[in-house]
Structure 1
Amino acid sequence: MSPKLIKIVLPIVIVVVAAGLLFVLSNARQPAEQREELPTGILVDAITAHVEDIQYRIVSQGTVQPKLMTSLISEVNGRIIEVSPNFVEGGFFAKGELLVKVEQDDYLTAVKAAEANLARASASLEEEKARVRVAEGEWASFTEGVAPELGLRRPQLAQELANVRSAEAELERAARDLSRTEIRAPYAGILQSRSVNIGQFISRGTTLGMIYGTDIAEVRLPLTDHDTAFIRLPTRGQGDYPDVQLSAVIAGRLQQWQGKLIRTEGVLDERSRVIYGVVQVEDPYQLALDHQNEPLRFGRFVRAQVQGVTSQQVVMLPRNLLRPQNQVLLVDAEYKLEFRDVIVQRTDERYAYVASGLEAGELLAISAMPNPLQGMQVRLGRVDGEWLESTVTSATSDTDKQE
Structure 2
Amino acid sequence: MARIIAIAAPIAILVSLGVGGTVVLQALKPKPEKAEEARVGLNVFAEQVRRGDLQISVESQGEVRPKREIVVAPQISGRISYVSPDFIDGGFIKKGQLLVRVEAADYELAVVRAQSTVASAEQRLARETAEAELARQDIEDLGLDNASPLARREPQLAEARASLDAANAQLKEAQLALDRTAVYAPFSGRVRERNVDIGQVVAAGQSLGRIFANDVVEVSLPLNDEEMGRLGLPLAFAPTAEHPGPEVVFSAMVGGIKRHWTGEVVRTAAALNTQTRQINVIAELKDPYGAGADDGAPMAPGLFVSAHIEGATIHDVLIAPRAALRGDDRLFIGVPDTGKLSIRKVDLIYSDPDGAYVRAGIAPGEYAVTSPIQAAFDGMNITVMERLPDGTIKTYEPKSDTDEGKTEETVMAVSGQEGTDE
What TM-score bracket applies, with the shorter chain setting the length?
0.7 to 0.9
Matched residue, 1:294:
297
Is residue 330 of structure 2 the alignment partner of residue 324 of structure 1?
no
User: Following the alignment from structure 1 to structure 2, what is the Cα–Cα distance between the partners of residues 263 and 220?
Assistant: 10
SS of alignment partner, residue 231 of structure 2? coil
Matched residue, 1:126:
126
Amino acid at match of 1:388: K
User: Following the alignment from structure 1 to structure 2, what is the Cα–Cα distance between the partners of residues 114 and 324?
Assistant: 84
User: Following the alignment from structure 1 to structure 2, what is the Cα–Cα distance between the partners of residues 364 and 242?
Assistant: 33
SS of alignment partner, residue 156 of structure 1? helix
Matched residue, 2:199:
199
Query: Would the alpha carbon gap of residues 253 and 147 (structure 1) be closer, same or farther in structure 2, given more than 3 Å must change?
Result: same
Give the CA deviation at 1:303. Answer: 1.0
Is the CA contact (8 Å cut-off) linking 2:219 and 2:283 kept in structure 1? yes
Matched residue, 2:190:
190
Give the CA deviation at 1:114. Answer: 0.9
Amino acid at match of 1:338: S
Give the CA deviation at 1:181. Answer: 1.0
User: Which runs of no fewer than 5 residues in structure 2 stay unpaired?
Assistant: 1-32, 398-408, 414-422
Superposed, which structure 2 residues align to 1:222-301 within 5 Å?
A: 222-233=222-233, 235-239=237-241, 240-286=244-290, 292-301=295-304
Amino acid at match of 2:318: V
Matched residue, 1:173:
173
Give the CA deviation at 1:136. Answer: 1.4
SS of alignment partner, residue 45 of structure 1? strand
Is residue 365 of structure 2 the alignment partner of residue 361 of structure 1?
yes
Matched residue, 1:116:
116
SS of alignment partner, residue 266 of structure 1? coil
- Larger mean Cα displacement after TM superposition, 328-337 or 346-355: 346-355
Give the CA deviation at 1:70. Answer: 0.1
User: Following the alignment from structure 2 to structure 1, what is the Cα–Cα distance between the partners of residues 128 and 318?
Assistant: 93
User: Following the alignment from structure 1 to structure 2, what is the Cα–Cα distance between the partners of residues 394 and 282?
Assistant: 55
User: Following the alignment from structure 1 to structure 2, what is the Cα–Cα distance between the partners of residues 96 and 176?
Assistant: 17
Give the CA deviation at 1:165. Answer: 1.3
Query: Would the alpha carbon gap of residues 317 and 130 (structure 1) be closer, same or farther in structure 2, given more than 3 Å must change?
Result: farther
Amino acid at match of 2:302: G
Query: Would the alpha carbon gap of residues 349 and 204 (structure 1) be closer, same or farther in structure 2, given more than 3 Å must change?
Result: farther
SS of alignment partner, residue 207 of structure 1? coil
Matched residue, 1:388:
394
SS of alignment partner, residue 299 of structure 1? coil
Matched residue, 1:89:
89
Matched residue, 1:11:
none
Is the CA contact (8 Å cut-off) linking 1:48 and 1:383 kept in structure 2? no
Amino acid at match of 1:313: D
Give the CA deviation at 1:377. Answer: 0.8
Is the CA contact (8 Å cut-off) linking 1:78 and 1:202 kept in structure 2? yes
Amino acid at match of 2:101: K
Query: Of residues 339, 364, 368 in structure 2, which corresponds to 1:335?
Result: 339
SS of alignment partner, residue 136 of structure 1? helix
Matched residue, 1:305:
308
Give the CA deviation at 1:335. Answer: 2.1
Give the CA deviation at 1:163. Answer: 1.0
Is the CA contact (8 Å cut-off) linking 1:47 and 1:364 kept in structure 2? yes
Query: Residues 295-319 of structure 1, C-alpha deviation per residue, up to 9 Å, x if partnerless?
Result: 1111001111112111133234444
TM-score, normalised with respect to structure 2: 0.79
Query: Would the alpha carbon gap of residues 232 and 110 (structure 1) be closer, same or farther in structure 2, given more than 3 Å must change?
Result: farther
Matched residue, 1:45:
45
Amino acid at match of 2:393: W
SS of alignment partner, residue 350 of structure 2? strand
Query: Residues 175-223 of structure 1, C-alpha deviation per residue, up to 9 Å, x if partnerless?
Result: 1111111111111111111111111111222111111111110111112
SS of alignment partner, residue 293 of structure 1? coil
SS of alignment partner, residue 226 of structure 1? helix
TM-score, normalised with respect to structure 1: 0.83
Give the CA deviation at 1:43. Answer: 0.7
**Number of residue pairs the alignment of both structures matches:** 362
- Larger mean Cα displacement after TM superposition, 186-195 or 366-375: 366-375
Query: Would the alpha carbon gap of residues 133 and 293 (structure 1) be closer, same or farther in structure 2, given more than 3 Å must change?
Result: same
Give the CA deviation at 1:362. Answer: 1.6
